[in-house]
């Protein structure tokens, strides 16, 4: 049985003038130790999919569907039951570490509090574990750093502290929402390597949100490409890079910088993602899709199996594999 199995997850928000269907039919399963990447441009529904599973969507929103974790549905779970699991068995790293670290408390207070509360250990034991975890995420002089406040650390260090905090209770699933976006490229690479090592050492399953397919290539076994609240294509990462077939996936791949192609042009997808309060009819991507036909403006294509573990929602998939689209 998978560790986490998501079926037809939906998230809707009510606003003064419209109902926003932010997530429309997400399905995936995650095995122990596996990493799933969720990719897509801004507004595609990546964060809300994950926040819904952790009972963290805004009060004007509502989630439906199933996210089965150890026989319990996380969607619609009582706050009490969710509080028992969240931050303990399921843990999240948010995009901006400053907004989720308390600026008035030392790193030690923030870390030991979690352990004392969740694991019922003494303060002394908690401090020992906190220092060990800071060392695991490669914070130099961890025993000294633990006494500092968040503002005394660099951005990369703060992100490491966030990761250390998220891993303190040894969660089974770590949800990481753009954990490296705010960091410069070198630090980004270090944090990704760190996640790889930690996964190897602790066997944690990871759901990683990113808008960068390059990050997926380095870390994920499975990938889900979202656009306009829907899943466009979903498969194992190797298949996605070898045989991308959804025009949106191919567009994202073309926007990746290529190491083998010096001076190569980065060709982003022309246009912008739709306004989710007033999405276009048909396939959400059709207005920006070079391969779109008449049917694409009318019917939203269903997400269908096209191979083992490979799902795609497209009326006009692109089948040829050219050098242009093969990146890895
Ligand atoms: N409280 C809310 N009320 C109304 N709409 C919302 C609310 N929260 C999120 N949305 C909308 O839900 C959609 C999906 O948002 P989400 O945050 O999941 O996008 P994302 O893929 O994570 O994008 P980004 O890469 O920018 O973080 C967006 O159109 C967003 O405007
Ligand atoms: Mg987001």
Q: How far is residue 311 from each of residues 27, 236, 248, measured CA to CA in Å?
A: 10, 10, 14
Ligand of minimum distance to the alpha carbon of 51: 1
Q: DSSP letter for 86, please.
A: B
Q: Please give the mean pLDDT across all residues of the chain.
A: 90
pLDDT digits (tens, 9 = 90+) for 174-192: 999 998 877 777 878 888 8
Model-level pTM? 0.91
Handedness of CA 112, 117, 118, 124 (dihedral sign): positive
Residue 325 has what pLDDT? 46
- For ligand 1, atom 30: residue with the closest CA: 43
- Give residue ranges with CB within 6 A of ligand 1: 13, 15, 20, 22, 40, 42-48, 58, 60-61, 211, 276
Ligand of minimum distance to the alpha carbon of 212: 1
Q: How far is residue 280 from each of residues 124, 275, 290, measured CA to CA in Å?
A: 57, 8, 16
pLDDT-based confidence at 232, cuts 50/70/90?
very high
pLDDT digits (tens, 9 = 90+) for 199-222: 888 889 999 999 888 889 888 999
Q: How far is the CA of 58 from the centre of ligand 1 (A)?
A: 10
Q: How far is the CA of 91 from the centre of ligand 1 (A)?
A: 20
Mean pLDDT calculated for residue range 58-74:
96
pLDDT above 90 for 247:
yes
């Amino acid at each position: 049985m998978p560790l986490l199995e998501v079926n037809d997850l939906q998230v809707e928000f009510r606003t003064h003038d419209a109902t926003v269907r932010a997530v429309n039919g997400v399905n995936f399963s995650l095995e122990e130790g596996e990493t799933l990447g969720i990719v897509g441009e801004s507004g595609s529904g990546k964060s809300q999919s994950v926040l819904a599973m952790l009972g963290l969507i805004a009060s004007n929103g509502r989630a439906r569907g199933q996210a089965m974790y150890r026989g319990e549905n996380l969607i619609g779970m009582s706050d009490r039951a969710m509080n028992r699991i969240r931050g303990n068995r399921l843990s999240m790293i948010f995009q901006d570490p400053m907004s989720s670290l308390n600026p008035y408390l030392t790193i030690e207070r923030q870390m030991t509090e979690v352990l004392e509360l969740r694991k019922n250990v003494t303060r002394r034991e908690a401090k020992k574990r906190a220092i060990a975890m800071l060392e695991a995420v490669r914070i130099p002089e961890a025993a000294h750093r633990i006494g500092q406040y968040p503002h005394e650390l660099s951005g990369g260090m703060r992100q490491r502290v966030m990761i250390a905090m998220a891993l303190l209770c040894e969660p089974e699933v770590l949800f990481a929402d753009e954990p490296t976006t705010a960091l410069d490229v070198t630090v980004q690479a270090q944090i990704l390597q760190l996640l790889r090592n930690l996964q190897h050492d602790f066997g944690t399953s990871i759901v990683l949100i990113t808008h960068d397919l390059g990050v997926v290539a380095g870390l994920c076994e499975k990938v889900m490409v979202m656009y306009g609240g829907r899943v466009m294509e979903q498969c194992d990462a190797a298949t996605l890079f070898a045989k991308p077939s959804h025009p949106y996936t191919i567009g994202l791949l073309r926007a990746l910088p290529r190491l083998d192609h010096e001076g190569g042009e980065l060709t982003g997808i022309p246009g912008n993602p739709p306004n989710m309060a007033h999405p276009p009819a048909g396939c959400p991507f059709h207005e920006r899709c070079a391969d779109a036909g008449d049917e694409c403006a009318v019917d939203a294509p269903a997400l269908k199996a096209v191979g083992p573990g490979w799902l795609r929602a497209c009326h006009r998939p692109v089948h040829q594999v050219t050098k242009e689209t093969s990146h890895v």
